[in-house]
Amino acid sequence: MSFLQKRSSDTKFYIFSLFGALAAVISLITVFIAQISLRGWIKGMRALLKGEGLVNPFLHVGTPELRPIVKDLRVLIRDLETERRAKDENQISWSPRALKEILNKELTGDEILIVSNREPYIHVKKNDQIEVQFPASGLVTALEPIMRACSGTWIAHGGGNADREVVDKHDHIKVPPENPSYQIRRVWLSKEEEQGYYYGFANEGIWPLCHIAHVRPVFRSQDWTQYVAVNEKFAKTVVEEAKTDDPVVLVQDYHFALLPKMIRERLPKATVITFWHIPFPNSEVFGICPWRDEILDGLLGSSILGFHTRFHCNNFLDSVDRFLECRIDRETSIVSYKGVSTAINHYPISIEYPAKWLEDQKPIAECRKHIRGINGFPKDRMLGIGIDRLDYTKGILERFLAVERLFELEPKWIGKFTFVQIAAPSRTSLDQYQTFDAAVRSLATKINKRFGKEGYEPICLKIEHHEPRQVYEYYRGVDLCFISSLHDGMNLVAKEFVASRDDEQGVLILSQFTGAARELPEALIVNPYNIDQCAAALHIALEMPMGEQRDRIRSMRGLIQEFNVFRWAGRMLLDAARLRQRTRLFGHIQDRYLGKAQSKL
Residues in contact with ligand GDG by the rule CB under 6 A: 134, 136-139, 141-142, 277-278, 349, 387, 389, 422, 424, 465-468, 471, 488-493, 496
Compare residues 565 and 579 and give the one whose CB is closer to ligand GDG: 565
Q: In sequence order, which residues have a C-beta less than 8 Å from that of residue 236 and are 6 or more positions away?
A: 266
Quote the least distance from Cβ 391 to ligand GDG, whole Å: 6
Is the Cβ of residue 358 or residue 406 nearer to ligand GDG in the bound state? 358
Distances from the Cα of 57 to the Cαs of 35, 396, 428, 590, in angstroms? 14, 61, 62, 13
Q: Which ranges constitute the DSSP H helices of 480-545?
A: 492-500, 516-519, 531-543
First and final CA of the chain: distance in angstroms? 63
Question: Minimum Å distance from CB 491 to ligand GDG?
Answer: 5
Q: Which residue is nearest to ligand GDG (CB)?
A: 138
Helix (H, G, I), strand (E, B) or coil at 161: coil
**Shortest distance (Å) from residue 499 CB to ligand GDG:** 11
CA distance 309 to 485: 16
Quick one: DSSP state of residue 456? B
Pairing of strands 480-483, 327-329: unpaired
Nearer to ligand GDG, 267 or 523 (CB): 523
- Three-state secondary-structure class, residue 420: strand
Cβ distance to ligand GDG smaller for residue 421 or 590: 421
What string of DSSP letters covers 309-342?
Answer: SHHHHHHHHHHHHHHS--EEETTTTEEEETTEEE
Taking a C-beta distance cutoff of 8 angstroms, is the pair 483, 386 a contact? yes
In angstroms, give the least distance from the CB of 279 to ligand GDG.
Answer: 8
Q: Which of 261, 257, 263 is nearest to 278 (CA)?
A: 257
Query: Nearest CA to 206 among 471, 387, 427, 521?
Result: 427
**Smallest distance from the beta carbon of 390 to ligand GDG, in angstroms?**
9
> Residue 58 in 3-state DSSP?
helix
> Which is nearer to ligand GDG, 444 or 536 (by Cβ)?
444
Q: How many Å apart are CA 147 and CA 282, to the nearest integer?
A: 33
Shortest reach from residue 210's CB to ligand GDG, in Å: 9
* Closest to ligand GDG by CB, 270 or 278: 278
Kindly tell me which of 203 and 590 has the beta carbon lying closer to ligand GDG. Answer: 203
Q: How far is the CB of 38 from ligand GDG (least distance, A)?
A: 51
Question: For ligand GDG, which is the closer residue by CB, 490 or 541?
Answer: 490
Q: How far is the CB of 249 from ligand GDG (least distance, A)?
A: 18
Do 320 and 335 form a contact (C-beta atoms < 8 A)?
yes
**Nearer Cβ to ligand GDG (88/437):** 437
The total number of residues shown for the chain amounts to 601
What is the smallest separation between the CB atom of 360 and ligand GDG, expressed in angstroms?
Answer: 16
Listed residue (51, 36, 61, 57) closest to 590, CA to CA: 61
